[in-house]
Amino acid sequence: MRASVLSDWLAQRLDRGNGQPIYRQLHRLLQQAILSRELPAGTKVPSSRLLAQELGIGRNTVTQVYEQLVLEGYVSSATGRGTFVADSAPDEIVGAPDAEGPAAKPEPLPLPLQAKRALSTRGARLIAGAGVSKRQWGAFMPGVPDVTKFPARVWSRLHNKYWRRLRPDLLTYAPGGGLALLRHALADYLRTSRSVRCTPEQIIITTGIHQSVDLAVRLLSDPGDVIWTEDPCYWGVRSVLHVSGLQSRPIAVDEEGINPSADDLAQPPKLMLVTPSHQYPLGMVMSLARRRMLLEYARQNQCWIIEDDYDSEYRYGSRPLASLQGLDTSGQVIYVGSFGKTLFPGLRIGYLVVPEALAESFATASAELYREGQLLQQAMLAEFIAEGHFTSHIRKMRTLYGQRRQTLLDAAAQRYGDALPAVGGDAGLHLVMQLPEGTDDRAVAAAALARNIVVRPLSGYYAQPSLAPSGLLIGYACVPDEEIAPAFNTLADAIDATLPQFA
Ligand SMILES: Cc1ncc(COP(=O)(O)O)c(C=O)c1O
């Protein structure tokens, strides 16, 4: 990297919203660029005045970082001539503990360098297409529930209870499939709340939907097989599929859900991945006719349907809808769900419900591949469900999110009237605000991020973003009621700045 592109490289990586002081971020980024030889020995770094100006930060900050790097031997400064990358950089610094605690994870290396180093083709493709956001909390992070409302006292009572008496059976590796107690509690819940037909033995506990999909595609397909995915669909599972070597065939959705054309139907896939209760991210519900058609097609063509039921507990105004799995009479559906949205994402507990004939293979494979554990958390969770806390938490959160959704819709209507309609808002944790055709929704999202607001561009969920409709995914669940309207106004400023017709 030439010194002249250094400022851009740094500007893309400095994150004012991640809670880390700019001084520390800049220091670490420069160390990293020098250690990776992206800034080769002898390179003259920009003056502190110029770099401060280009990054929009205080000159003192840059001066202090340069002084620190001089002390550490990364750069040397020659009076009157400037600051230069030293001939040999100390290489023990990356990952070393620093004064403020254990080492923070180093920033990912610039892509070309990663690819050059060691990544396989699929690894490089995964990283290049990665969609994960650095921020996972705050206005308007889609898909994140309000974790501050989690009944922490109940959880900590259960936690203490299980740790008071050490139980080796809960601290060792998990038998394939997970803790029987949790599988029983879940079977009851899924039968009554989601109309899922299952016995506890058909349930396999995983770390969430990502892992459930990973396990299902590994066991039911081979590299090169075709999987139908909805277009648009969740980027996370798309990544899981690509790494498994599957070929995704994006299938358009309409108001009734996934809508394969005659051409699609003529080439049956091995698997399909659908979100029937709440299409992600657009929010429609798959019609009964479409459900029947898919099940019949899957039966006739021997394909598997993976049903991702990630957030269907949250419907405002109507009862939660029954699962597709509940209509399946020929054992074609693999149902996947998660406690990530109902409790908290960091819990990392999810589950699959598989046809009876596959249950044992899935349990064995899960243990073979992932060497599972977390039985203690599973025991706590089973008791949490059995004592009724799970359903009452969902009930409470449904009311809260319904109010937040309305507050957001009101704020949007006040600012834009009908000009920017919202879709998919009657369920889930986010809604989609449509932007005028041709709008660069990535630019709008970037402008919002510069104002400390996270939204996701809708086009990024489509197989061909350049041809996709434009919009923003706005998550309201994790934003306190009183912050929604002000945060929306900040977002609207970003929209107006990018779309002159609204300014
Ligand atoms: C459609 C969809 N499926 C799955 C997930 C991830 O679920 P988990 O956290 O259980 O892996 C998400 C997360 O936002 C999602 O939106």
Show the 3-state SS of 239-275: HHHHHCCCEEEEEEEECCEECCCHHHHCCCCCEEEEC
Residue 122 has pLDDT above 70, yes or no: yes
At 389 the pLDDT is: 98
Quote the CA–CA distance of 373 and 174 in Å, as a whole number: 5
In a domain, 349, yes or no: yes
Ligand 1 centroid to residue 250 C-alpha, Å: 18
Query: What is the mean pLDDT of the segment spanning 266-283?
Result: 97
Taking the CA of residue 280 as reference, the ligand 1 atom at the shortest distance is 1
How do residues 445-501 score in pLDDT, each as one tens digit? 999 999 999 999 999 999 999 999 999 999 999 999 999 999 999 999 999 999 877
Residues 285 and 426 in one domain: no
Q: Measure Cα distances from 411 to 316, 422, 431, 484 in Å.
A: 18, 12, 13, 8
Same domain membership, residue 307 and residue 426:
no
Q: In this structure, are 197 and 183 located in the same domain?
A: yes
Domain assignment of residue 331, yes or no: yes
313 CB under 6 A from ligand 1? no
Q: Let me know if residue 114 belongs to a domain.
A: yes
Predicted confidence (pLDDT) per residue in 32-91, tens digit: 888 877 888 888 899 989 898 889 888 988 888 888 888 777 888 887 888 888 876 654
Tell me, using a 6 A CB cutoff, whether residue 335 lines ligand 1.
no
Same domain, 377 and 396: no
201-216, pLDDT tens digit by residue?
999 999 999 999 999 9
Ligand 1 atom with the shortest distance to the CA of 211: 11
Q: Are residues 180 and 79 both part of a single domain?
A: no
Question: Using CA atoms, how far apart are residues 47 and 214, in angstroms rounded to an integer?
Answer: 49
The total number of structural domains that make up the chain? 3
CATH number of the domain that residue 465 is part of: 3.90.1150.10
The whole-number pLDDT of residue 425 equals: 67
**Mean pLDDT for the chain?**
91
Candidate of 209, 308, 348, 432 to mutate for ligand 1, largest count of ligand atoms within 8 Å of Cβ: 209
Higher pLDDT, 439 or 125: 439
CATH no. for residue 85? Answer: 1.10.10.10
pLDDT confidence bin for 94, thresholds 50/70/90:
very low
Nearest CA to ligand 1 atom 7: 209
Q: What is the pLDDT of residue 79?
A: 76
Q: Tell me: the pLDDT tens digits for 395-437?
A: 999 999 999 999 999 999 999 999 999 998 689 999 999 999 9
Whether the CB of 236 sits within 6 Å of ligand 1: yes
Across residues 367-394, what is the average pLDDT? 97
Give the domain range for residue 59: 3-118
On whether both 249 and 302 belong to a single domain, the answer is yes
Whole-prediction pTM: 0.78
CA of 7 to the centre of ligand 1 (A): 35
Would residue 143 count as lying in a domain? no
